[in-house]
Structure 1
Amino acid sequence: MQLLSRSSWNRFPIPFFGLVIVLLVSLASHTSSSTEQEKSSLLQFLAGLSRDGGLTVSWRHNTDYCTWKGITCNQERKVTDVLLASQGLEGFISPFLGNLTGLLHLNLSRNSLSGGLPLKLVSSSSILVIDVSFNRLTGGLSELPSSTPPRPLQVLNISSNLFTGRFPSTIWEVMKSLVSLNASTNSFTGQIPTTPCVSAPSFAVLELSFNQLSGNIPQGLSNCSVLKLLSVGYNNLSGYLPDELFNVNSLEHLSLHSNWLEGDLNGISKLTNLVTLDLGGKFIGNIPESIGDLKRLEELHLDHNNMSGELPTALSNCTNLVTIDLKSNHFSGKLTKVNFISLPKLKKIDLLFNDFTGTIPESIYSCSKLTALRLSYNHFNVQLSEKIGDLKSLSFLSLAHCSLTNITRTLQILRSSRSLTILYIGFNFLHEIMPEDDSIDGFENLQVLSVNDCSLSGTIPDWLSKLANLGMLFLQNNQLTGSIPDWVNNLHLLFHLDISNNSLTGEIPRALMEMPMLESDKTAPKVFFELPVWNKNTFMQYLMLSAFPKVLNLAINNFTGVIPEEIGQLKGLVALNLSSNELSGEIPQAICNLRNLQVLDLSVNHLTGVIPAALNNLNFLSEFDISNNDLEGPIPTGGQLSTFPDSSFGGNSKLCGPMTRSRCGSAGAGQISVSYRKQFRCKVIFAISFGVFFGVGVLYDQMVLARYFG
């Protein structure tokens, strides 16, 4: 560009230059005002935090806000991104963030933020993505007037919070660009909205699981022509599955698990793009042959239904299957109708609680990627094949109540499955002898072993001492004799031991008081189960080993002697059951050191002396029983013991206090004798303890819950 000559400049009058200067100053002033608003809005957000996760160090007033941690700006110095996930933030979300007129992405997920979600953010004229999942946000989502101009929001993730109230319906009318809505794991009520299906042509993801939604599956969902994911499981939905839903052939993931929905699967073949089908509930009928049309299907979950019939041969055509979960139904017939050779990607098979017959098909052993196999509680005529050793990745194996015989041969076959970490083989091998053969090895990785309810005779075998990684051992409800071996304290990871209802004798060994995991608060290894495990007492589902409590259950045996004073070393114990034995002596004072105890049962023994007053200080104690002993003196009051019923103290004729019929100091004190020892000797105890769920737990629990959830 040619420069102006001096003469050219002289043509412009002086006022022109003044106008230029005014415009430049005005522009600079506007820019300065705009940047100050950006910084001020961010600092207002910071001021609303009670814990800022160290942001104050970065967000200093005398530094460029565009360089602050988690902040991104565009060329015009407008904040476009506030990305502060997993920063340990506490406090509330300031509505001043809505003053960031260029903000596109807001991510405050996985913090501890509380309060509500400001409507100013949801109704922003610039924000495309809001993610505030995994916080402690409360309140509800406000409606927007229908006159509100269209908003650009595309993704809203408010999952895993504490939101309540009716799920809004009209707010979505102005969200013309909405693509994904995730409000799962809250406490929303009301019905499933269908407005986005009409107002937002690109709406593809609706995730509302784990709420309190009710009503039917609305027919209006058929208008969601590009919907890829519909997940509304674990709500209170009811009624029949509308046929219109099967017309949404764009669906890739359909999850309606754990509602009160009914219907059949006759129209399922229309959803040819399905990758995940999860319909646990009250569905009936059989699996149609047309299931074979779902060539992309990877996850098939039809558990806890009332489905029946044989498995269709066409299931072999779903060659991308990774998981087959059909537990708690009434399926019958032989598994040999399914050619598992055609399912090379299969990793998990769960057929628990059905009516299958015949043998385990040899073709299952061709599924080289199989990590979990649960066939328990069917009518199989099961004898293990040595080919199970071909399943090199098998970690979870459950064959309880499958008519297995010859425990020695079974263990010798299974030792070749070197990847096994979870093994349930209870309710088999009736009246056989527990093998003591030292040649039984190969279980070095085993972390849970359940050989319960087999009526096995013999002793606790020494080959168990080789299981260095064992965390949970269940031998209850057998006929084992002898004493607890001293090598038990060499199992350094053992934290849950149930050997109740056997015929074990001797004193409680000191070695049992030296269990490393029970002596400390250290948690078990974070091992994830390949298949979920239910706790029948809490009706909760567990997916990892460390979620279970530390338990020592020696009930219903013939142990003698005193309760060792060293029991006070087991500070990690959550449940202790020594009931229905022949123990004598006093309740050791050291037992009051077990501050984590939630369950303590010392009933039906010959314990004498007074009740230690310090038991009142076990603040977590929720189940307590010292009935049917020879205890004496006043029952300590004014603490935790006062919260338990009279039955917790009954059968101790020399006890007195408000929980008994004998008043301390009265003439009649100690004269009333209530003896229940014999009738309690064989009672089923410790059912109140949430520790007993494997064996008579893991698998029996599934039966209880199958009936419970219907």
Structure 2
Amino acid sequence: MEKTTQQLRSSNNRKHMTILGVALVLLLFLPSLVISCKEGEKTSLLGFLDGLSQNSGLTTSWQNDTNCCLWEGIICNVDGTVTDISLVSMGLEGHISPSLGSLTGLLRLNLSGNSLSGALPPELLRSSSIVILDVSYNKLAGDFDELPSTPDQAMKVVNISSNLFTGYFPSTTLEGMKNLAALNMSNNSFTGKIPSTVCVDKPFFVVLDLSYNQFHGDIPPELGNCSVLRVLKAGQNQLSGTLPAELFKATSLEHLSFPNNHLQGTLDPEHIVKLSKLVILDLGGNGLYGKIPDSIGELKRLEELHLDYNNMSGELPSALSNCSNLTTLILEGNFFHGKLSNVNFSTLSNLNFLDFRSNRFFGTVPDSLYSCSNLIAVRLSFNNLHGQISSRINNLKSLKYLALSHNNFTDITKMLRILSSSTNLTLLILGGNFKHETMPDYDIFYGFKNLMGLALNDCSLYGNLPKWLSKLKKLRALLLYNNQLSGPIPAWINSLNFLFYIDVSNNSLNGDIPTALMEMPMLESLANSDVIIFKFPLYIYRFLQYRTTSGFPRMLNLGYNKFTGVIPPQIGQLKELLTLNLSFNNLYGKIPQSIGNITNLQVLDLSYNNLTGAIPSTLDKLHFLSELNVSNNDLEGPVPTGGQFSTFPDSSFVGNPKLCSPMLVHHCSSADAAPAPNVSTEHYIDKVIFAIAFGMFFGVGVLYDQMVLSRYIYFDRIIVAISSSYNRL
């Protein structure tokens, strides 16, 4: 036995020595085994490098005297043929060289997420080897060339999304791509009609994304012949007509998306049921009418249903309860009515997002909704609901966003006591309820540990600003406007270190403006400023929406109250403030010179007070100021000229009989005339151009803020769809 054991050990040792010896040999000779690229292919790659104006350091790796198979982003096969080029988000600028078209073994080319411009070389589209072409998220422009079709094209995936392409759908170019499986042309400026031949002779065609373009006309019925099509997206275009009956012959569809077009008609119960594999149905932002058909309940795989902003009506079908895989149910902005209890929500255990805003639902919030333990966001605002929220809402451990505003809920104290236990709640929108009740002012709320936004506006609430607000240490936005609150602003307001959006306008608050308000950390600097993404936009006013709390303007609105005293000179410390409204109060004294230190200020309203003295010349430093109102005070002297002051209308200054200006009734004498600003003409022109540029940027920023989330979510999904489609081929 002992001898046998020794023999085994000896055998094992010999095996280990053999393996070690092979490893040493490989290490010694490894340099000689590295595949060398072909010289002609190296030349083609260097031609691409030469076409770049910004290569983000590629020249460090891409050197003529080195093996191109070892260059960054390059993969070769065993023969030294370049098969893959992947230079994603490298900060590349310049043109794509046609020389890449001479890489006869190239299978995959990915240049997405750069700043490449110019045209897409036809040589790449004619390639007989490229299987995947991805140039998305660049600045490529021009027509997507109509090239003669060739029978030997291997192309399976084409992603040219998020560029600047124009022209018509490239039918001829795509005609020869018999193996095409996925085509993403979204987020460009293509126009014309969607051709009826888009999937002719393409037996593998599974993904078509034409979203965010300018296509118009009807949806081609021939799309129903795309027998294996799984993803069809053409939202944010100008399509019209109805959903053709033939479209529902495409029974492999999993994602059907036509939001924000001009579609009409109804959801035919006999047609919709044919799409039994449907996972996402998005028809929001159209002109659909009629009811949600009962047959919707037969779509057992349905996860997302978007019918928002149509003209649909009727009661919710109880058959929705059968869609047990639903995660997202968005019916906002329609004319649905009836009771929510028509749907048994307890069967929708996967539900994450529920949005029924702006409909005509009545009754109470059904108990079955509290069984949806995975709910993250619930919006029932602008309906006719009443009653109370059940304490069972605390079962919704994932709930972060709750909007119940503008219904008929009562008993604010009970509501807040129940909701305060929802420790993950981030946004709580309750305005437009609890009419003429009293704001609870005692410490009964022990939760709200993560609350960042609280709206109790439009309630006509009586009472003072309650002490329990001081416990909301993560609060960013506080909306209490249009109530009947009274008393002073308490000194603890500056303990809310993250608060930057304060609207307490149209109340009866009184006393001096406290210096504590001049010590708000988030209005003094941008430190600790983070971004919070919402599934749906938050509506501050009915038609003004923001998708992130950082997208709110940093605002202090004390207008329409009964404040007295002077404007604290410390107000100049609030350097990050964008909107300051102190209108319709009883303030007196001079406008502090320090307001000129709030250099980002865009809106300043001091109207309807008892302010005296001159308009400070320091306001000329507010280059971004787009709205100024100092009307109906007792100001005197000349109105400053130049800078932003040249853009404000007369109405900004009326009601100040002692003010003078060439634009006002009272013209200034030579003794009154304001001194001309001591800046050169060139410097002044630079200021104006800078201000205009910022205004354009800010306007685009707001639009971007409303669009970018859905655009990025949508982009992630289509990439997943394209990848999965390719993998299944």
Category of TM-score, reference length = shorter chain = 0.7 to 0.9
Q: 2:102 aligns with which of 95, 99, 102?
A: 99
Q: In 2, distance between residues paired with 1:334 and 1:384?
A: 15
1:517 alignment partner, SS class: helix
Partner of 2:127: 124
- 2:637–2:672: 8 Å Cα contact kept in structure 1? no
Q: 2:260 aligns with which of 239, 254, 258?
A: 258
Q: Indicate whether 1:450 and 2:458 are aligned.
A: no
Q: 2:479 aligns with which of 460, 474, 495?
A: 474
Q: In 2, distance between residues paired with 1:423 and 1:545?
A: 13
Q: In 2, distance between residues paired with 1:188 and 1:382?
A: 51
Q: In 1, distance between residues paired with 2:422 and 2:600?
A: 37
Q: Indicate whether 1:432 and 2:449 are aligned.
A: no
- Structure 1, 606-615 or 301-310: larger mean CA deviation: 606-615
Q: Indicate whether 1:142 and 2:155 are aligned.
A: no
Q: 1:228 aligns with which of 221, 225, 230?
A: 230
Q: 2:593 aligns with which of 584, 589, 609?
A: 589
Cα 1:322–1:653 shift into 2, 3 Å: same
- Structure 1, 453-462 or 583-592: larger mean CA deviation: 583-592
- 1:649–1:659: 8 Å Cα contact kept in structure 2? no
Deviation at 1:78, TM superposition (A): 1.8
Letter in 1 for 2:419: L
- 1:330–1:355: 8 Å Cα contact kept in structure 2? yes
Cα 1:548–1:516 shift into 2, 3 Å: same
Q: Indicate whether 1:188 and 2:190 are aligned.
A: yes
1:368 alignment partner, SS class: coil
After superposition, residues 581-620 of structure 1 pair within 5 angstroms as 581-620=585-624
Q: In 2, distance between residues paired with 1:444 and 1:247?
A: 52
After superposition, residues 81-92 of structure 1 pair within 5 angstroms as 81-92=84-95
Q: In 2, distance between residues paired with 1:241 and 1:476?
A: 44
Partner of 2:641: 637
Q: In 1, distance between residues paired with 2:372 and 2:240?
A: 38
Cα 1:122–1:619 shift into 2, 3 Å: farther
After superposition, residues 29-178 of structure 1 pair within 5 angstroms as 35-146=38-149, 148-178=150-180
Q: In 2, distance between residues paired with 1:647 and 1:150?
A: 71
Q: Indicate whether 1:574 and 2:582 are aligned.
A: no
2:120 alignment partner, SS class: coil
Q: 1:555 aligns with which of 552, 559, 584?
A: 559
- Structure 1, 625-634 or 455-464: larger mean CA deviation: 625-634
Q: 1:313 aligns with which of 312, 318, 340?
A: 318
1:504 alignment partner, SS class: strand
Q: 2:662 aligns with which of 658, 680, 700?
A: 658
1:381 alignment partner, SS class: strand
Partner of 2:712: none
Deviation at 1:291, TM superposition (A): 0.8
Letter in 1 for 2:563: F
Q: Indicate whether 1:405 and 2:410 are aligned.
A: yes
TM-score for both structures, normalised by structure 1: 0.86
Q: Indicate whether 1:621 and 2:625 are aligned.
A: yes
2:251 alignment partner, SS class: coil
Deviation at 1:196, TM superposition (A): 2.9
Deviation at 1:586, TM superposition (A): 2.1
Deviation at 1:85, TM superposition (A): 1.0
Cα 1:591–1:668 shift into 2, 3 Å: closer
1:291 alignment partner, SS class: helix
2:246 alignment partner, SS class: helix
Render the CA deviation track for 1:431-474: whole Å, top value 9, x for unaligned: 11111111212001001100001111111111111111111110
- Structure 1, 318-327 or 195-204: larger mean CA deviation: 195-204
Q: In 1, distance between residues paired with 2:638 and 2:600?
A: 25
Q: In 2, distance between residues paired with 1:262 and 1:195?
A: 24
Deviation at 1:52, TM superposition (A): 1.9
Deviation at 1:47, TM superposition (A): 2.6
Deviation at 1:318, TM superposition (A): 0.9
Deviation at 1:104, TM superposition (A): 1.4
Letter in 1 for 2:520: M
- 2:198–2:223: 8 Å Cα contact kept in structure 1? no
Cα 1:84–1:554 shift into 2, 3 Å: same
Q: In 2, distance between residues paired with 1:156 and 1:542?
A: 34
Render the CA deviation track for 1:156-186: whole Å, top value 9, x for unaligned: 1122223333333322212211111112122
- 2:405–2:433: 8 Å Cα contact kept in structure 1? yes
Deviation at 1:600, TM superposition (A): 1.7
Partner of 2:17: none
Aligned-residue CA RMSD in angstroms?
2.3
Letter in 1 for 2:63: R
Q: 1:490 aligns with which of 483, 486, 495?
A: 495
Q: In 1, distance between residues paired with 2:109 and 2:673?
A: 71
Deviation at 1:117, TM superposition (A): 2.2
Render the CA deviation track for 1:213-253: whole Å, top value 9, x for unaligned: 11111112112111111111111111121111111111100
Cα 1:614–1:211 shift into 2, 3 Å: farther
Cα 1:293–1:64 shift into 2, 3 Å: same
Letter in 2 for 1:662: H
Deviation at 1:668, TM superposition (A): 12
Partner of 1:296: 301
Unpaired runs of 5+ residues, structure 2, are 1-34, 675-697, 700-705, 707-729
Render the CA deviation track for 1:109-141: whole Å, top value 9, x for unaligned: 122223332222222222111212222223231
Q: In 2, distance between residues paired with 1:102 and 1:522?
A: 52
Deviation at 1:289, TM superposition (A): 1.1
Q: In 2, distance between residues paired with 1:660 and 1:202?
A: 72
- Structure 1, 48-57 or 171-180: larger mean CA deviation: 48-57
Q: In 1, distance between residues paired with 2:616 and 2:64?
A: 61
- 1:172–1:199: 8 Å Cα contact kept in structure 2? no
Q: 1:463 aligns with which of 460, 463, 468?
A: 468
Q: In 2, distance between residues paired with 1:92 and 1:498?
A: 50
Letter in 1 for 2:581: N
- 1:212–1:235: 8 Å Cα contact kept in structure 2? yes
1:530 alignment partner, SS class: coil
- 1:235–1:258: 8 Å Cα contact kept in structure 2? yes
Q: In 1, distance between residues paired with 2:137 and 2:527?
A: 26
Q: In 1, distance between residues paired with 2:161 and 2:545?
A: 20
Q: In 1, distance between residues paired with 2:195 and 2:523?
A: 50
Partner of 1:283: 288
Q: In 1, distance between residues paired with 2:445 and 2:554?
A: 27
Q: 2:334 aligns with which of 315, 329, 334?
A: 329
- 1:92–1:115: 8 Å Cα contact kept in structure 2? yes
Deviation at 1:659, TM superposition (A): 2.8
Unpaired runs of 5+ residues, structure 1, are 1-30, 671-689, 692-697, 699-710
Q: In 1, distance between residues paired with 2:341 and 2:483?
A: 34
Q: In 1, distance between residues paired with 2:589 and 2:449?
A: 40
- 1:523–1:546: 8 Å Cα contact kept in structure 2? no
Q: 1:338 aligns with which of 323, 330, 343?
A: 343
Deviation at 1:667, TM superposition (A): 11
Cα 1:642–1:547 shift into 2, 3 Å: same
1:195 alignment partner, SS class: coil
- 2:171–2:198: 8 Å Cα contact kept in structure 1? no
Letter in 2 for 1:450: A
Render the CA deviation track for 1:535-589: whole Å, top value 9, x for unaligned: 769x786432222221111111112222222222212112111111122222222
Partner of 2:721: none
Deviation at 1:91, TM superposition (A): 2.6
2:443 alignment partner, SS class: coil
